[in-house]
């Protein structure tokens, strides 16, 4: 099974997935392509270290969002991509893109959705004073941080935790849950009915 990982930054989840694939821990799935929209992103260098091809897709090179996404879709089809994995990709995909890969796009979010949506979820939970937050892996639909939940696990926020400590806890859990969700998909153990994921057997 061929995976395309979309990332815009450091690529820590990209590395966690790539390491799992290298250990043959993804039920035969592998990262075939990195799609990145930031030429200065550290994840590009990390992809080279794993000998994974990179598609650098810059929005400014295209007339509009539709043509930008069309070029990416054509490359995904050419590379026979079975699953799109969003790992810190800082662009929201259009409804047309999501429809093209319906129930074949995953995202990971550093909170227990539907709580604390958005790009500052860890900080928001910390400032709010929550006693717990967590990580959610979900299928992507046309709305932000929305769609059928695949895996979800909580992280306690200790009284003495600082924001960097909480961030480290969250990232550690992300690196565990994302490969697990991909493995379940590769094994054919995920079945979506409406907004629910059924037949989930670890």
pLDDT of residue 95: 95
In this predicted model, what pLDDT tens digit does every residue of 56-112 receive, in sequence order?
Answer: 999 999 999 999 999 999 999 999 999 999 999 999 999 999 999 999 999 999 999
In this predicted model, what pLDDT tens digit does every residue of 102-156 receive, in sequence order?
Answer: 999 999 999 999 999 999 999 999 999 999 999 999 999 989 889 999 999 999 9
CA–CA gap between residue 202 and residue 183 (Å, rounded): 9
Please tell me the class of the 2-198 domain: alpha beta
CA–CA gap between residue 14 and residue 85 (Å, rounded): 9
171 is catalytic: no
CA–CA gap between residue 183 and residue 171 (Å, rounded): 19
Q: Pick the catalytic residue: 70, 109, 138, 146?
A: 109
pTM, 2 dp: 0.92
Q: What share of residues in the chain are helix, strand, coil (percent, to 5)?
A: 35, 25, 40
């Amino acid at each position: 099974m061929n995976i395309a990982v979309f990332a815009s930054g450091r690529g820590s989840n990209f590395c966690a997935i790539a390491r799992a694939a290298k250990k043959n821990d993804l039920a035969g799935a592998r990262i075939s392509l990195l799609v990145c929209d930031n030429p200065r992103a550290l994840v590009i260098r990390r992809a080279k270290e794993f000998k994974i091809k990179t598609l650098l897709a810059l929005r400014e090179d295209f007339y509009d969002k539709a043509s930008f996404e069309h070029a990416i879709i054509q490359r995904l089809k050419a590379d026979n991509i079975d699953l799109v994995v969003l790992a810190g990709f800082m662009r929201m995909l259009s409804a047309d893109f999501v429809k093209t890969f319906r129930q074949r796009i995953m995202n990971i979010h550093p909170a227990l959705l539907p709580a604390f949506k958005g790009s500052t979820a860890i900080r928001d939970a910390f400032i709010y004073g929550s006693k717990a937050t967590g990580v959610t892996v979900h299928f992507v639909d046309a709305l932000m941080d929305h769609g059928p939940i695949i895996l979800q696990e909580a992280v306690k926020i200790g009284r003495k935790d600082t924001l960097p400590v909480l961030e480290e806890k969250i990232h550690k859990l992300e690196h565990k849950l994302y490969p697990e969700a991909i493995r379940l998909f590769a094994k054919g153990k995920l079945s979506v009915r409406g907004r629910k994921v059924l037949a989930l057997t670890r």
